[in-house]
Structures are given as C-alpha cells and as structure tokens.
Amino acid sequence: MNNSINKQILLKSRPIGEPKESDFALVETQIPEPGEGEVLSRTIYLSLDPYMRGSLSANKSYAAPVELDSVILGGTVSQVIKSNHPQFQSGDFVLGRNGWQSYGVAKGETLRKIDPSQAPLSYSLGVLGMPGLTAYAALLDVGQPQPGETVVISAASGAVGAVAGQIAKIKGCRVVGIVGSDEKRDFIVQELGFDAGINRKTQELYPALQEAAPNGIDVYFDNTAGVILETVLQQINLGARIALVGLISEYNATSPPPGPNLRPLLIKRALIKGFLVADYQHRLNDFLRDVSGWLKSGQLKYKEDVVLGLENAPRAFIGLLRGENFGKLIVKVSDDPTANKLGTQPD
C-alpha cells in the first residue's frame, strides 16, 4: 500500500436513496506537498460512520456536503510523513480528517497527536474518539440514567450503541439493546453484559420490549429513529429522557418520513433532545479518563469490524447503512506499524 501514489475515493454522483458503488470512484493522483504550517500524513485507518451519509447529499445537514468529484470526508488516524508545523514530526501518529484517501495534507491545528502506547491507534476513531464521546455524553448528559432505571439502546452493537449500553450497565441500569441479528443479540448479552437483547428483524418489537423492559423505559438512546422510536415512546415512563443521536433508519430516505405521534411525550412529561457530539467537547477529558479506565479494568469491551483496503470503503459504507457491520467499522488503508505490538490490537 505504501508507494508514491495517492489513492482517493471521490464522490461521482449524489446517491438517491441507498448509495451505490457507482456513486464512488477510485482515482490515483500524486501525493500532495504540504504548504506552510501544514502536515502530510499517510492514512492508516479511516472511520466509517452512519452520519457521513448526510454529507453525500446536497441537503442541509450538520455534516457539510461533499462537493462532486471531491474526496469524501472522514476521520482518520495517520502517520506524519513530512511536517511544516513545529508541533509535528515525521513518524508521529495523528488523529485528523484525511478523508477517503491514502495521503492527506492538513493544517497542523486540525490534527491531534496520538500516543500509541496508550491504546491501539484505531481506538481513537471509536471507543476513545468521536463515537465513544457520543455514547458517553448523550447517555450521561441527556439520558441522565439513574441506578435501577431501564435504558433502551438501538443499533446496540454498533460503535456508539455498544459503548453507551456498557456505560449504562456500569451506572447500575437495566439495559436492553435492539440489534439486527441473532449473532449481534448474543454478542451484546453474552459479551457486553446487556440484560436483554432484541432482534428487530425476527422479533415483534412491541411485545419484545414489554418483556425486556417490564418496568417501562426511562432512557432511550436513539440511533435510528423510525419505528423503533415510535414503539419505545409507547412504553416510556414518567419523566423519560430520549437522546436523539442518530437517524440510521432514514439516512437513505429520499424525503423525510413522518415521525412518531408525540402524545406520549405529553402524557409522560418526557423529553426528546437532539444530540451532536461537537457540543460536548467540554466533556472530552472526563470521557477519556472514565472510558480509558473502564477499558483497562475490563468493565468496557470494544469490538471493531476492520475492512482491508481503501478500495473497499464504498461497499463497506453501503453495508454500514444496512447494518451489515458488526462492531465499529473502520477501513485499514495502510500498514499500522504499531500493530501486533499490543495484545489488544484487533486484527
């Protein structure tokens, strides 16, 4: 993977509904030169996350739209090749946003150095990065779970949901996860310690939730919206808190589908709050301290789904929106020189 050519994946056409592989194009260009204050780095890991679907559309979203024929945006872990910024040196590992390409140039101010002795490099894209902070802050700050309460989480085996559910367990809650396969259900219950799991593809949601959450639902960590949100609303308790974190069920929708009837919010004096991780940077230190600690103590487990090769990113991303990934989805774009030096490295 390591040569003088920069592989890039460009957005060729804006997807209508579910993205197709033909919406993307792999091209090869020269490796760029860093300018004043800039850093050139080789992409090692690329993060694929459902929210990125928004940036492929021209519609207004919180993700800025990707221009046609431009490199698709995305968070990366990379290694510095050449630095014109005093805070970075060749060989440093950095968290940044190279996007879907094997080399990227960025202003030094947009990068954050990663210490590879602390955790596997890729964790900075997941449990110790944006998805982890999302799980932490949306659960604790919006959901405010109290010991003994029941917390329901959709997309519960995903990058965000799996972390949120385990934190809710640590906080003394009954935790119910909703997933899309029996394998994922077994995983969240047997491996992650959720109290119950529901396979939304084979189980009828309303009675399954009643059985899994017999005392009603106090906190709902919503990654999906859609029918799951609607069903949960019918079983919330007085004063329930719903963190609206993702809309996986409708990212591919060509027009916004109707939402749930909100009468239960009124009857139960409950709240729904939209969550964006960018608003919670003030929680970063608390998050890193707590989650690092839980990882080290073994209270929190983390599963990655690693796809090899940048050229496979489009197919993996399409699968992500279908729920085909199992764990945090990352693309290994080039060799990780720290791999196999740490026992916890995933692949």
The one among 136, 194, 275, 294 contacting its own copies by CB under 8 A: 275
- The stretch among 19-27, 58-66, 203-211, 307-315 that binds its own copies (CB under 8 A) is 58-66
Q: Does 257 bind its own copies (CB under 8 A)?
A: yes
Q: Is 250 in the site for its own copies (CB under 8 A)?
A: yes
Map the footprint of its own copies across residues 132-161, applying CB under 8 A: none
Give 26 or 265: the residue with its C-beta nearer to its own copies.
265
Is 266 among the residues that bind its own copies (CB under 8 A)?
A: yes
Q: Judged by CB under 8 A, which of 17, 86, 147, 258 binds its own copies?
A: 258
Question: Judged by CB under 8 A, does residue 274 bind its own copies?
Answer: yes
**Calpha distance 87→271 (Å, rounded):** 44
137 to 4, 11, 164, 182, 276: CA distances (angstroms): 41, 32, 9, 28, 9
One of 37, 62, 204, 211 touching its own copies (CB under 8 A): 62
Output 263-272 pairs: Cβ under 8 A, ≥24 positions apart: 264/233, 264/234, 264/236, 265/233, 268/236, 268/237, 268/238, 268/239, 268/240, 269/238, 269/239, 270/236, 270/238, 270/239, 270/240, 270/241, 270/242, 271/240, 271/241, 271/242, 272/242, 272/244
At its nearest, how many Å lie between its own copies and the CB of residue 274? 4
Q: Is 246 in the site for its own copies (CB under 8 A)?
A: yes
The answer to whether residue 247 forms part of the interface with its own copies (CB under 8 A) is: yes
Output the CA torsion sign for 293, 295, 296, 299.
positive
Task: Assign 39 to helix, strand or coil.
Answer: strand
Task: Please tell me whether residue 263 binds its own copies under the rule CB under 8 A.
Answer: yes
The stretch near its own copies (CB under 8 A) out of 117-125, 160-168, 177-185, 274-282 is 274-282
Cα distance between residue 276 and residue 244, in whole Å: 9
Q: Which stretch binds its own copies (CB under 8 A): 18-26, 108-116, 189-197, 241-249?
A: 241-249
